[in-house]
Amino acid sequence: MKKRIFEKLLLILLLIIFGQQEVLASETLINGFVSQGYIKTDNNNMYTNSENGSFEFSETGIRFSTQLPDRLRIGMQLFARDLGDLGNNEITIDWAFADYLFTNELGVRAGILKIPHGLYNEIRDTDMLRASIFLPMGLYNEAWRDTFVSLKGIGIYGDLLNHCSYKFQVGIPSVSPESGMAKSFSSFTNSKVTDTNPESYYTASIQLYDIVEGLKLGFAGGKFNFAMNFIINENSAISLPGTNTGHIDGDGYVWTTSAEYIYNNITFSTEYGRFVFDLPITIDLQDTDKLQLFRSVNMETYYVNLSYRMTEWFEAGIYYSVTYNDKDDKKGKEYIHKFLGKRYSAWAKDVCISARFDINSNWVLKMETHINDGTNSIFNADNMNDAGELNLNRRWTAYIVKVSYNF
Amino acid sequence: MPRKGHIKRFIILFGLFGIFITNSLFFIAQAADDIILITHVDTPVDKLNTADIKRLFEGKIRMWKNGDLVVLVQLKDDIIQESFLKKYIRKSPSQFQNYWKNKMFQGETHNFPRRFHNKTQLINFIKKTKGAIGYIPSETIPEGVKIIKVD
């Protein structure tokens, strides 16, 4: 609730600022995009009811930016998406900040800031900037987007020594009961998150560019804390007689190393990432006793990607992405004792083949197929049968089409 | 075994294609050599090297030493733009546009390079905008702006 009030006040303030005559006269830039997609899977539901084919896949974004006197810049991007029951077209502030540039080496931003995570997190919603529809889902988990896309806080940034850019930020992450992070927890434990308390998020990124022409190297990391209260479902593995509530204090860090090389119309990129969460769970028993459980996520993910723009209107791409929920349990032998799921829920291996058609400077059509082994990238909650049993298949294929208009 | 007539036609076509490509490259190279960089008279720089030009037009240098913000301008001329980008930025026009869209949607910049239909508009904008820098064909040496020497 606090998060929504902060965002609404910030939105009102920015709209007032942008509505001022002086600001309009100083050339406010407005850009945006609208997209609609369709997902069909042969087995398993991917975020949506995709086994039957689903159009519940749309995104809208609009961006405002203006340069005020004395090196102050303000901007914001509003975003709404519908991906199954994620987003549901609720308008959110993707980012909104004031930016003051002291020197080329030092600038300051405050507000809702995009989190630097890997090469593409800050532009993950703008798929007109890449060949594929979905980014490799281990590193850029669509389910966790609302937590990892931005934080409310302050940061510094700059360019150093002609080949290095940096960002440091501190703030509060977005973890709400409706978030993908909460849904993931609910999905693993068969419970329902009732409220959340996001606490802190520290991030840092460094990129080295043009040491070799066309080459970009990056390192990014972040540490965060959050808390959740939940209600345990009756058939949950952590349900006990007489109890149905619990609490979790999440503590975790993420880091990525990245490389991108662009040569003429060929782009090659590869990234490696780790997500490490400690999840001490407290379950309320009768008579004020409590039961302590401990779960951890020690995720490892990596991918290689190649795309080639063959003509001004056609680009093809292919990537291979691998994710393990626990890098020390790649075969899932321990996974089935800790989390709700099948053994092959411990990994996700994905071969994605994409085709992008630039119809003109505004319209883009994309088609892609994902050939999957493992189900770590999808929600258990979307794959329960009428009897409440998990209904998953290890190997499955997704076919996705998306049309975007950008302005 | 291809007939001699087919081989001959192939050689002629290949030769014509080669001449066409060579001329195109020559034309682009010639166009790049005929481009000059111009900036507002108060911009505190008289010469730039190619690495600086690349950093400027990729938005990595956002501010001049006198505190004025860098304002980038270009002509909407495909040939001039393509030759400038290939020579100094080492990107194609679509790669360059994508690069700036990238920065924009990250919220990294307000400073998308402005584009003008003709060099008169571009020159007039630079004359009245502190920190502005752009490029034009060298056939006319404009007054009221500073010409940047390229190392």
Give which of A64, A67, A121 to mutate to test B binding, by max B Cβ within 10 Å: A67
- Helix or strand run (H / E) with residue A255: strand A245-263
CA of B105 vs chain A CAs: smallest distance (Å): 6
Q: Return the top range by mean pLDDT from A21-35, A36-50, A244-258.
A: A36-50
Of residues A366, A121, A248, A314, the one with CA closest to residue B105: A121
**pLDDT confidence of residue B124:** 95
**pLDDT confidence of residue B106:** 79
Which residues in chain A have Cβ-Cβ distances shorter than 8 Å to B106? 114, 122-123
- Asked if the model's pLDDT at residue A296 lies above 90, the reply is no
Instruction: Report the pLDDT averaged over residues A60-80.
Output: 87
- Asked if the model's pLDDT at residue A35 lies above 90, the reply is yes
Which residues in chain A have Cβ-Cβ distances shorter than 8 Å to B69? 67, 71, 101
CA of B71 vs chain A CAs: smallest distance (Å): 11
Q: Which of A21-35, A207-221, B123-137 has the lowest mean pLDDT?
A: A21-35
DSSP string spanning A120-172?
Answer: TGGGTT-GGGSS-SSPPTTTS-GGGHHHHSEEEEEEEEEEETTTEEEEEEEEE
Of residues A107, A119, A104, A138, the one with CA closest to residue A299: A138
**pLDDT confidence of residue A167:** 96
CB contact under 8 A, A65 and B107: yes
Of residues B32, B41, B68, B28, the one with CA closest to residue B142: B41
- Residue A232's pLDDT band, with cuts at 50, 70 and 90, is confident
Q: Choose the closest CB to A101 out of B62, B92, B105.
A: B62
Instruction: Report the pLDDT averaged over residues A222-226.
Output: 90
Give pLDDT tens digits for B82-112: 889 988 998 888 888 888 888 887 777 766 7
Q: Choose the closest CB to A71 out of B61, B69, B95.
A: B69
**pLDDT confidence of residue B91:** 86
CB contact under 8 A, B63 and A101: yes
| CA distance linking residue B34 with residue B53, whole number of Å | 16
- Asked if the model's pLDDT at residue A281 lies above 50, the reply is yes
CA of A216 vs chain B CAs: smallest distance (Å): 13
Q: Return the top range by mean pLDDT from A92-106, A185-199, A345-359.
A: A345-359
Give pLDDT tens digits for A358-403: 998 889 999 999 999 999 999 887 898 888 788 899 999 999 999 9
Which residues in chain A have Cβ-Cβ distances shorter than 8 Å to B101? 126, 128-129
A 348-407 residues inside an 8 A Cβ radius of B: none
**pLDDT confidence of residue A16:** 63
Which residues in chain A have Cβ-Cβ distances shorter than 8 Å to B105? 31, 61, 63, 77, 122-123, 125-126, 129
Give pLDDT tens digits for A190-213: 788 888 888 899 999 999 998 898
B 85-104 residues inside an 8 A Cβ radius of A: 90, 92, 94-95, 98, 101-102, 104
**pLDDT confidence of residue B18:** 47
CB contact under 8 A, B110 and A122: no
- Which residue spans within A285-333 are E strands per DSSP? 290-311, 314-324
**pLDDT confidence of residue B77:** 79
Give pLDDT tens digits for A118-170: 999 998 888 778 999 999 999 998 888 888 889 999 999 999 988 999 999 99
**pLDDT confidence of residue A289:** 74
**pLDDT confidence of residue B17:** 46
CB atoms within 10 A of CB A282: 15
| Structure tokens belonging to residue A179 | 């978030």
CA of A346 vs chain B CAs: smallest distance (Å): 33
Q: Which residues of chain B have pLDDT under 70?
A: 1-33, 110-111
Which residues in chain B have Cβ-Cβ distances shorter than 8 Å to A66? 110
CA of B21 vs chain A CAs: smallest distance (Å): 17
In whole numbers, what is the pLDDT of chain A averaged over residues?
87
Give the C-alpha distances (Å, rounded to integers) separating A205 from A38, A142, A165, B58, B107. Answer: 34, 21, 8, 19, 16
CA of A263 vs chain B CAs: smallest distance (Å): 9
**pLDDT confidence of residue B28:** 42
> CB contacts < 8 Å between A and B, how many?
70
